[in-house]
Amino acid sequence: MTVARINRISEFEGKTVQLNGWVYNSRRSGKIGFLMFRDGFGIMQCIVAKNDVGEEAFEVFKSLTQESSLSVVGEVVKNDRAPGGFEMVVSELMVHQLSSEYPITPKEHGTDFLMNHRHLWLRSKRQHAILKVRHEIIKAVRDFFDSNDFTLCDSPIFTPNAAEGTSTLFGTDYFGNTAFLAQTGQLYGEAAAMAVGRHYNFGPTFRAEKSKTRRHLTEFWMVEPEIAYCEIDENMNWAERLILFIIERVLENRKNELDVLERDLGKLEHIKAPFPRLSYTECVELLNKGGINFTWGDDFGAPEETFIGEQFNQPVMVHRFPTAIKAFYMKRDPENEKVVLGMDVLAPEGFGEIIGGSERETEINLLEDRIKDEELNQADYEWFLDLRRYGSVPHSGFGMGIERVVAWICNLPHVRETIPFPRTIGRLNP
């Protein structure tokens, strides 16, 4: 018997096939049953009529509970009354396991309850759609870099040093020493870029920030390209092209999932280059003109990011931030030493920062000074300083948080639904 998958069910119209899966929901109207059947690839309505399957099999159907596992055999037919346009007229049912008292009903539940049952919640239509979009975004990211001659070089998760200050690091015992979980792969990325020219790194990162917001996780996935012989404007070009490529791919392949999520596609279709590029100083002027009191030198908070984003309805690239609020490795602007050549990308619709990056400092003396200023241990960074001793070149890169991009593309209010098993300050389970 041919085993079909629901996402390709139209190829099997008129044929008798088997489906392997689970009960999503079932309804009955006398001697005809409607089985919403989930196979992991999609959901399809299966018709179980007593006259077709016989008394015994109909009793089996009646005993099915939500999320029981089973296989069904039947003919695939077109029918406009069925959600999705196709349904199966069942001739045979094979139960693998009857589940009992599945906790997640088709009715409403609270966030905490659902998060406690995250391992089961993933089966629901909405969460399934998010998983598919997340996958599409990750695949787009990799395809984008792979097709532009970038080389993936994985950076370590255990690290001896801090890239961006020590207060937000998770420490673990490493044979009597402390190892920190990587909060970025960037310093290793710079080493890789000097080896392969164009590099990207993609992996989990860890931040022990005690942040309790809709935009923070303690464990999140980040893609970090690093490019040799690349200055800040070209860096922004790469970020712009990457975002456009992701949106194009998702609109091409995941419209159904975005429909399930009730995403307004117009807002995504409307995104096009060039994205507005504003210096930090120009943003401060924009904020003050807009009636938001903001002092030059402070870092943008969520309200400021939202305001700037709302002025354009496009991703906005902000560049040249005050030196004091940015990491030690960012290059000072040769035209104004109060600012560094950093750049952030703010997503529209109030989703805030999705990318942070910069042109990197190339002068070893300036780096050593900044390491001292930040009270970092220079010995930990000697290998990194070697990159400036042996063939230092202008180079740039950025980091893009996958979960924030997924939240924006799917229009989700909170990043906790963008990753299969979120880790936040208050949650380590399941």
- Residues 381-400 within binding reach of RNA (CB under 7 A): 399-400
Task: Answer for the pair 408, 354: CB distance below 8 angstroms, yes or no.
Answer: yes
Footprint of RNA on 204-243 (CB under 7 A): 207, 209-218, 220, 222
Among positions 122, 195, 265, 325, the unique one binding RNA when judged by CB under 7 A: 325
Distance of closest approach, residue 116 Cβ to RNA, in angstroms:
9
Q: Quick check: 27 binds RNA (CB under 7 A)?
A: yes
Nearer to RNA, 14 or 266 (CB): 14
In this structure, which amino acid lies at residue 314? Answer: Q
Nearer to RNA, 30 or 334 (CB): 30
Q: Quick check: 309 binds RNA (CB under 7 A)?
A: no
Q: Quick check: 297 binds RNA (CB under 7 A)?
A: no
Task: Answer for the pair 3, 19: CB distance below 8 angstroms, yes or no.
Answer: yes
Q: Quick check: 14 binds RNA (CB under 7 A)?
A: no
Q: How far apart are the first and last CA of the chain?
A: 37
Return the CA Rg of the chain. 26
Q: Quick check: 125 binds RNA (CB under 7 A)?
A: no
Q: Quick check: 199 binds RNA (CB under 7 A)?
A: no
Q: Quick check: 50 binds RNA (CB under 7 A)?
A: yes
Nearer to RNA, 259 or 269 (CB): 259
With vertex at residue 402, the alpha carbon angle to CA 397 and CA 407, rounded to the nearest 5 degrees, is 135
Q: Quick check: 415 binds RNA (CB under 7 A)?
A: yes
CB atoms within 10 A of CB 374: 13
Closest of 348, 351, 350, 325 to residue 338, by C-alpha: 325
Among positions 4, 9, 45, 133, the unique one binding RNA when judged by CB under 7 A: 45
Q: Quick check: 354 binds RNA (CB under 7 A)?
A: yes
Distance of closest approach, residue 424 Cβ to RNA, in angstroms:
8
For residues 68 and 227, what is the distance between their CA atoms, to the nearest angstrom?
51
Distance of closest approach, residue 370 Cβ to RNA, in angstroms:
14
Buried-exposed string 111-146: b where 16+ CB fall within 10 A, e elsewhere = eeebbbbbebbebbbebbbbbbbbebbbebbeebbe
Distance of closest approach, residue 47 Cβ to RNA, in angstroms:
5
Closest of 202, 200, 204, 205 to residue 225, by C-alpha: 200
Among positions 55, 56, 101, 149, the unique one binding RNA when judged by CB under 7 A: 101
Spacing of C-alpha 45 from chain mean position: 31
Closest of 215, 160, 164 to residue 186, by C-alpha: 164
Nearer to RNA, 110 or 176 (CB): 110
Distance of closest approach, residue 419 Cβ to RNA, in angstroms:
9
Q: Quick check: 262 binds RNA (CB under 7 A)?
A: no
Among positions 303, 312, 336, 373, the unique one binding RNA when judged by CB under 7 A: 303
Question: What dihedral angle (degrees, nearest 10) is formed by the CA atoms of 132, 137, 141, 143?
Answer: 50
Among positions 1, 107, 389, 391, the unique one binding RNA when judged by CB under 7 A: 107
Q: Quick check: 106 binds RNA (CB under 7 A)?
A: yes
Distance of closest approach, residue 427 Cβ to RNA, in angstroms:
6
Window contacting RNA (CB under 7 A); options: 127-135, 147-155, 329-337, 349-357: 349-357
Window contacting RNA (CB under 7 A); options: 169-177, 332-340, 371-379, 420-428: 420-428
Q: Quick check: 95 binds RNA (CB under 7 A)?
A: no
Among positions 16, 49, 276, 362, the unique one binding RNA when judged by CB under 7 A: 49
Closest of 6, 63, 8, 4 to residue 33, by C-alpha: 63
Q: Quick check: 423 binds RNA (CB under 7 A)?
A: no
Q: Quick check: 298 binds RNA (CB under 7 A)?
A: yes
Closest of 193, 164, 121 to residue 362, by C-alpha: 193
Nearer to RNA, 29 or 293 (CB): 29
In eight-state DSSP terms, residue 380 is G
For residues 331 and 319, what is the distance between their CA atoms, to the nearest angstrom?
12
Torsion sign (Cα): 389, 392, 398, 402:
negative
